[in-house]
Amino acid sequence: MSDRSNSKPSIRTTIVQAGHFIDKETGAVIPAIQPSTTFARKEDYNLVGNYIYARNGSPTVTHAEGLLCELEEGFETRLFASGMGAASALIETLETGQRIAAPTIMYHGVKSWMLRQQTMRNVGLDLFDAADPASLARAIIPGKTAIVWIEPPANPTWVVIDIKAAADAAHAAGAILVVDSTCAPPVISKPLSLGADIVFHSATKYLNGHSDVTAGVLTARETSPRWESLKETQIGLGATLGSFEAYLLIRGLRTLFLRVEQASRNALALAKHFEKHPKLAGVLYPGLENHPQHKIAKKQMTGGFGGMLSILVKGDEAQTRRVAGRLKVFTPATSLGGVESLAEHRKSVEGPDSIVPGNLIRFSIGIEDAADLISDLEQALRFELGRMCGRPAGLQMSLDGVDWSP
């Protein structure tokens, strides 16, 4: 073992210890919640500290932002009241006539807001197939495209786009690259190191990890006029995170590495078990070697392949919904990234205009016993679609022995 006595602690240690926090007055090792919305001035009317009003920032929020910025290896981080608040504030920095290039399949909430900007503010949107680099190149219009938005892996089909190649294409056209890395948190992927300008997360998901906080986060690789405009927009819109939510986010971050690593192990175990299942038309997971972008995923997802996967049922939309409804260990609910496993018939959630296949079920794999999750999906498929294939002998041994590293 190497001697690290004089070296800086690893990022894993830093996050677990919340920045090696120790309260100077009490010795407490847990960061306190500072709920004050306003901050006093001295007799000369200078501020006592660095804060004036909670909408502009507060100590608990600053602490959380500092941890996230270090985790992403960025220049500066801003926390928002929700993921959509963060995405909307960034889109708000676009001027009339500027354009966004974004994937055809992506998180539908952000895509819907982008489409809304076309009619509200004449901000153009050019969609591309994330699996086709030529499609991305066609969608970027030099001098007009201001933001290229990608989502590797893409929700809910888990197509993986090459971040570095997308960054090069965006920069060549004078645009910035924004990476929605919600489903590949910084334990797994570091988009800024691959050339992205801004990385976005719905911090509601993996960063918090306990399904009890709504938050969003943006981290910049470096400052820029757009980044400074974003900060003004955030304050003007009032899209700031509260201190209580920031405290819960700090608490969740402390177990981020453990949670994401276990979810990745479980997801790979499920993907391998159901990869050739006779009742399924396919398993969509970038950790499988037969995934079309597995090599790209292996290159840029260096801490595992994440906890998100989808299955394609050999059946129609109604049968697929019934499979989802039959699950007992999985919870049928929207969202992802929590410690509990969730299942969702995505097309039902997105609505009749959704382009997601009707036979797709999206899974957010948690940190439970993987054998329980496998058995649950097996019984749902058996009940709705017929007799399941035999469960392999020694399942627990195969789960414990999974090599999930890239």
Count of other CB atoms within 10 angstroms of residue 41 = 10
Q: Which one is catalytic: 78, 111, 205, 272?
A: 205
CA distance 250 to 193: 23
Of 177, 225, 232, 228, residue with least CA distance to 199: 177
- Catalytic residue flag (residue 276): no
- Catalytic residue flag (residue 346): no
CA distance 392 to 396: 10
- Catalytic residue flag (residue 372): no
Q: Which one is catalytic: 55, 121, 254, 298?
A: 55
- Catalytic residue flag (residue 180): yes
Of 291, 323, 207, residue with least CA distance to 256: 207
Q: Which one is catalytic: 107, 206, 247, 285?
A: 107
- Residues annotated as catalytic are 55, 107, 180, 205
